[in-house]
Structure 1
Amino acid sequence: MSITARIVTVGDPATLDTLRVGEGEIGAPGPGELLVRVRATSLNYHDYAVVTGMLGPRPGIVPMSDGAGEVLAVGEGVIGFAAGDRVLGLFFPAWQDDEIDPAKRSVIPGDSTDGFAASHVVRPANWFMPMPEGLSFAEAATLPCAALTAWRALMVEARIKPGDWVLTQGTGGVSLFALQFAKLAGARVIATSSSGAKLERLRALGAEVTINYRDIPKWGREAARITGGVDAVVEIGGAGTLDQSIAACRMGGHISLIGVLAGVAGPVATAHLMGANVTLKGITVGSRRQQADMIAAIVSGGIRPVLDESFPLGRLAEAFRHQESGRHFGKIVVTMDDT
């Protein structure tokens, strides 16, 4: 059994211009493996860092951490999967449950090993779990990284409850999932963006309050004034926005640091952080068990991921350029279509 798969690989040097679209032969699954026809993947900042060399050289690797598709064949000894099953990948396949440790984060599809920028893949069965009922492949492919990061930040670490105030930043995938999960939990949302049109869309998704951070540079203080201090912040900016997130928090608030888009290092208001007894917790996605809990909530709550533009696999570089532009609202997806 052999399938000719369409595959994208990272170039040397790694740039969007050197992403290579080609073909490769995919064989039958071995013991403990699945042959999966990938139907969709989605863009995360982590993927962008891989394909542009920000994480170091990865020449020849198949990028993309997220993947959703259908099982074509099952290897010997695999239990719980059958041909025809619709499946979803895991960002940390080795992190099945319990607390994170170095071994559990040692395997990352599209980074430490080949990912899902391919029409067909053979991967270990424990890389996958059943897709949520009622979602398309494109919608499901947005869940393993962005959605799970938002879920862990709010539901596992901050443990938000009805009536809490949650602050989200911008309109990327993690932030929009955070808004949706917060509303599902009965919390209130105060959201920031620099675009009036995007702020309007955030309000349509349920944000009670929005702040244009271009107009109000001290948006953290403004958020605290409006809410009396937020209970939880989903921090995507890093050093460039952390001080404002600290300023936004109530005493005893919680900040989940999940990104460094505005800076990887810089001064932090440590005295304010300490004095307000604010908890700052770094978040790197989540475990299989947490993903299963999240999927159950998505299905029962009727959440639909917010999708932006869709690109075929052969235009993966163009998809990343769209991500670079910052024009997107929600998740950019890539399908395995030929055109």
Structure 2
Amino acid sequence: MSEPTPRPVRRRRRLVRFAAAVAVLCALAGYLVVQYVTGGTARACKVVAVGNAPAAYRFTPEQAVNAATIAAVGTGQGMPERAVAVALATALQESGLRNLAHGDRDSVGLFQQRPSQGWGTEKQIMDPAYAAGVFFEHLAKVPDYARLPVTVAAQRVQRSGFPEAYAKHEQDAALLAAALTGQTAASLTCQGLPAADARTTAMGTGTGTGIDAGTAVDALRAALVRDFGPSENLQEAGAQVGGAARPSPKPSPTVTARARGRMITLPVPGGTKTDAAGRSELERGWQLAQWAVANASALHIRQVSYAGRQWSAGSTDSQWRPIAPASAPGAERTTGSVRIVTGQ
């Protein structure tokens, strides 16, 4: 007959088992928090600073799509890079650049705007392009907003209970704004892995990998129209304009597109003219190119080429690389167009 285990030993064993159980629960909770914050996806996109600055910002494909929409709507309304940075800092604080269907009281969407406070209907606010448009409409009414600190400009629009909260996102927002308005070239990269996305589903492309060329190109056209505004050329090409109307100046921004098989070509003049936001045509080209990379997972984009550089989905480092004439004899090596290849 074995001797009974001493009581202190049994107590220590129970404590060890309890501590192990707590550790497992903490690990599980941490995993669930990460999945919630990132939307259940890997952080597959990155924006890096140009020059010798070490700054970089990593984010999910879902966040990249929403950030690109905010930038496209802002520049389409003639707003400068600074305004886009203010909007991005606001969305980073309010929703983590995720289109949330919930929030404090009746707050929803990227900017946690409230239908009861006159921002629009819940359906409108849940349209990222509308939400961004109405945010910029209010920001444009703030006197001297471009000279104000980001957190002050954001607070003048949002009227938040935490007015200093936007300041911590200023550096990340500036990096994103520079890339997504085309100020910094080839600074945004994504792995471009196929992923389920609300926009893709809404456009009827599904989430599988067997997407035909016509469906993928149609989804890309529709996304361009949604973010950059309707264009007669895109309408004739069959793009569907969905969602709620958003505030927009006249004339509306336009994007011209030509499709051939799985490729869409977006002509960008190679001159030195500037648009309403003060951007050159080269910067506009880089905005379109990096918008396409940000949407790569959602729209099944495999390759983007512009200004002698090319990004390819699924490559080891997903970097922009110079186009070699021998390997891509038909590739565009000037600033004349952005070429986007969809599908497998």
- Normalising by the smaller structure, the TM-score range is under 0.3
| TM-score of the pair, normalised by structure 1 | 0.25
Whichever structure has more strand as a proportion of its residues is: 1
| TM-score of the pair, normalised by structure 2 | 0.25
